[in-house]
Amino acid sequence: MRLLIRKFVFDRYVKKGLCSMLSLLLFFTAWAGVRAEEAPPLDAEGFLSEAFGQDEYVKISPEEAVWMYLSSELSVTIRQFRQIDPALVWYESEIKVRGDTRLQSYLTPGSKPGKRMISPIKLSRDNQLVFAISDDYFSRRLNDGHTQGIIIRGGEVLSNKTFKADHASLPNLEVIARFNDGSLKTFLSNAHTAEEYLAMGVTDTFAFGPILVSEGELGPHMQETDYYYYREPRCAIGMIAPNHYIILTVTGRTDDSRGEHFNWLAERMIALGATEALNLDGGGTAALLFMGDMINKSNTSKTIRGVGSLIGFGTSPAATGSDK
């Protein structure tokens, strides 16, 4: 994967003359951070080995731009990257799961799960999540009475309302579905009903869009160079292989980072080996959380937008945040 990333940087920035030597230095500093200390022993599949003698390994090093978690069933590595011109800060999170640990949706409790909006930090800490991101923000559409899309969480249908045809609006409520085997697959908004998804073995669906990558190729709207070509904070989820995921989180609306457009996300996902990927809600909603703390920061507001649900991976008694 490192070779893919370095090739991406060279092709996209160096060849086009858009990146200074300082930008490259900052970029590769993040990769060097993982090797700055002796890594714990891993098994053949890249998870924490029993030889380590402890149940989990946690590394939190903003100075090295690296956050890492390892256990016998979960591997999380987050790396921060900075670009000088144009100003950009983004995070790449690689996640592998096995056994009982899986991609899972966590909703605020109540008579209508996910309807109540709370801080993503509180929702993450309440569930002691190792890693979490904001998702499709269906809670806002639910509260505002808008079309919610096909929403399935943990095998339960929360909404079966979507557009009757492929939409150009945003969000177009295109879907990324999680199957029982841990694989992800993208679908157009009107491809299936909720009942059809369940019959296919889908456990969860997230409806936002657009589709960034489908079957290893750029998504349908990514062929349009002017499709919502705005630089904004972004959050996207992709699959490299079943139970092997990549998350992109881009900060924006600040002097340090302008944000990015969808085509950038799609190209980056392909460079990282994603075969399926969907854009999730970004802007002020985009949240990247690790061990109970929010890592990314977008816009100048001190208020964190509330959410009704998160996508989470793994739990730990230690995932209570650094201010506790």
How open is the CA angle 253-311-264, to the nearest 5 degrees?
A: 40
Spell out the residues 6+ positions from residue 302 whose beta carbon is closer than 8 angstroms to its own.
Answer: none
Per-residue pLDDT, 12: 45
How open is the CA angle 87-90-96, to the nearest 5 degrees?
A: 165
Contact 279, 265 (CB under 8 A): yes
What digits encode the pLDDT tens for the residues 111-144? 889 999 999 999 999 999 999 999 999 999 999 9
Least confident of 2-6, 85-89, 183-187: 2-6
Q: Report the side by side order of strands in the sheet with 276-280.
A: 57-61, 66-70, 74-83, 88-97, 244-250, 234-241, 276-280, 211-214, 217-218
Question: What is the C-alpha separation between 155 and 157, in angstroms, rounded?
Answer: 7
What digits encode the pLDDT tens for the residues 264-277? 999 999 999 999 99
Per-residue pLDDT, 130: 98
Per-residue pLDDT, 37: 58
Per-residue pLDDT, 227: 74
Place of tokens 């100003």: 87
Q: pTM of the entire structure?
A: 0.88
Can you tell me the mean pLDDT for 212-222?
Answer: 95
Residue of higher predicted confidence among 82 and 28: 82
For residue 295, give the nearest of 286, 305, 303 by alpha carbon: 286
- Report the phi/psi class of residue 194: left, alpha or beta, with left for phi > 0 and alpha for psi in -120 to 50: alpha
Question: What is the C-alpha separation between 182 and 148, in angstroms, rounded?
Answer: 24
Contact 312, 292 (CB under 8 A): no
% of the chain residues with pLDDT over 90: 77
* Mean pLDDT of all residues belonging to the chain: 88
Quick one: tokens of 180?
Answer: 């029982």
Give the CA distances from residue 219 to residues 79, 164, 224, 226, 263, in Å, rounded to whole numbers and listed in that order.
25, 20, 10, 14, 9
For residue 96, give the nearest of 135, 69, 134 by alpha carbon: 69
Q: How do 276-280 and 244-250 pair as beta strands?
A: unpaired
For residue 300, give the nearest of 252, 262, 260, 263 by alpha carbon: 252
Annotate 128-144 with b (16+ C-beta within 10 A) or e (fewer): bbbbbbbbbbbbbbbee
Can you tell me the mean pLDDT for 11-18?
Answer: 43
For residue 94, give the nearest of 268, 324, 248 by alpha carbon: 248
Cα separation of the two ends of the chain: 36
Structure confidence at residue 228 as a pLDDT band (50, 70, 90): confident
Least confident of 107-116, 150-159, 166-175: 166-175
What digits encode the pLDDT tens for the residues 290-305? 999 999 986 655 668 9
Can you tell me the mean pLDDT for 248-270?
Answer: 95
Least confident of 23-32, 190-199, 272-281: 23-32
Structure confidence at residue 310 as a pLDDT band (50, 70, 90): very high
What digits encode the pLDDT tens for the residues 56-105? 999 999 999 999 999 999 999 999 999 999 999 999 999 999 999 999 99
For residue 10, give the 3-state DSSP assignment.
Answer: helix
Per-residue pLDDT, 324: 56
